Amino acid sequence: MTPRIRTHIGLLGLTEAALLSAVSWEGQVSRRFLVERTGFSKSKVVAAIANLLEAGLVRESGPSESTGGRRSEQLTLHPDLGVLLAVDLGATSLDVAVLSLDMTPLASHHEAADVRHGPGPVMTRVKAIMKTLLARLALLPDDVLAVGMGVPGPVAFDSGLLVNPPIMPGWEGFSIRDDLAAILGAPVFVDNDVNVLALGELWAGRRFAENFLVVKVGTGIGCGIVCGGRIYRGADGAAGDVGHICVDPLGPVCHCGNVGCVEAMAAGPAIAKEARAAAESGESAVLAELLKSVGSLTPVEVARASREGDMVATAIIQRSGVLLGRMLASLVNFFNPSHIVLTGGISLMGPLWLASIRQSVYGRSLALSTRHIELRLSRIPDRGGLVGAGVLALNSTLEAAKARSL
């Protein structure tokens, strides 16, 4: 991106910023569609698009396929706007990618990481990988429009600082934004991993819904909330921390100190623990054999045992689904989402798990709330984090421009 273009983004009018945002979400779009989507008048849209073309922020990409009537010129973001840097930091993994403005990966890198080592070593790797990827594409730091990063802990979004991150000791108060800004001129946006996943789902479904939840089930359980088409973060940035909702007042003690937390009873470690107990007690011969051959039991083996007809494994999966469904039923009654999208490692356990969740949610939620609800698995389970980080970067940049132009 040229400095001229960066200046133009900084000086966008309200209408221009809103239209640029709409073009980015649609990918390719006609003026007529923009009128319908934004509610602006036709003359306002035509004038603002002329400004955006003049400033080099959008370009015309030729007429659309005919659907009868006059074919209209299609608009896309101008490639000179640059590329996006996306970072998906997990508890034990690090993914970095360079994305084009339509979230296509141009270059990417994956490696193991340990967030417990603190920001020093982790961020050193992030920056080194960024440099390598940009160099591989013959791009300069100035070609980066914005950076988006998801982290496995609560983030105060406005300051970009981590707040009390339970699995990220040493990161408290560390500014990822300042750290990355030191090597890049581009704006940096940081958010919690489930919020980033929710943005990825919004993108994959082209803003398919206004009010929905993305629930990640892995070692822990977290929830990204989309409210009115935007990520909802709560009063202290702690919204969506659903792993410690109680689903059984007589349940086991969780590491948080409370009893019956859904995370302690239905997430990965609980499933693995139950499977090992069933294997070691001789209750399930299939699981015992898998434990012997694989060396350990994870939800993957439990799902395999269930597919092979093992009743104990099937019961373990159903129990996880029922307990998760009980928690989700509370959210459905309260929030009345149109969709719940399930993602994370455990969501790969298969259709039985999903069916148990559905049954539990429908059984416990009110008719009006479940009349139209869609409860499904993510369609981008492997790349939700990187796509979401790219969307965070692009979206936040355009939102910031909109806010400045008020």
Residues that bind a second copy (CB under 8 A): 38-40, 154, 163-164, 209-212, 223, 225, 227-228, 230, 232-242, 244-250, 256, 258, 326-327, 329-331, 333-338, 363-369, 371-373, 403, 406
Q: For a second copy, which is the closer residue by CB, 51 or 61?
A: 51
Beta carbon of residue 357, minimum distance to a second copy (angstroms, whole number): 15
* Residue length of the chain: 406
Beta carbon of residue 339, minimum distance to a second copy (angstroms, whole number): 8
Beta carbon of residue 281, minimum distance to a second copy (angstroms, whole number): 25
Q: For a second copy, which is the closer residue by CB, 249 or 309?
A: 249
Q: What is the DSSP string of 79-106?
A: GGG-EEEEEEE-SSEEEEEEE-TT--EE
Q: For a second copy, which is the closer residue by CB, 43 or 293?
A: 43
State the amino acid at position 325 in one-letter form: G
**Residue carrying structure tokens 């359980």:** 221
Q: For a second copy, which is the closer residue by CB, 234 or 252?
A: 234
Q: For a second copy, which is the closer residue by CB, 1 or 223?
A: 223
Q: Exposure of 65 by Cβ count < 10 A (0-12 exposed, 13-18 middle, 19+ buried)?
A: exposed
Tally Cβ neighbours within 10 Å of residue 233.
21
Q: For a second copy, which is the closer residue by CB, 36 or 54?
A: 36
Distance (Å, whole) CA 79 – CA 106: 13
Beta carbon of residue 330, minimum distance to a second copy (angstroms, whole number): 5
Answer whether 202's CB lies under 8 Å from 380's CB.
Answer: no
Q: For a second copy, which is the closer residue by CB, 21 or 369?
A: 369
Six token digits for residue 237: 């940035």
Beta carbon of residue 67, minimum distance to a second copy (angstroms, whole number): 27
Beta carbon of residue 337, minimum distance to a second copy (angstroms, whole number): 6
Beta carbon of residue 405, minimum distance to a second copy (angstroms, whole number): 10
Long-range contacts: 21-26, Cβ < 8 Å, 24+?
21/395, 21/398, 21/399, 21/402, 23/58, 23/75, 23/76, 23/77, 24/77, 24/101, 24/394, 24/395, 24/398, 25/203, 25/206, 25/207, 26/206
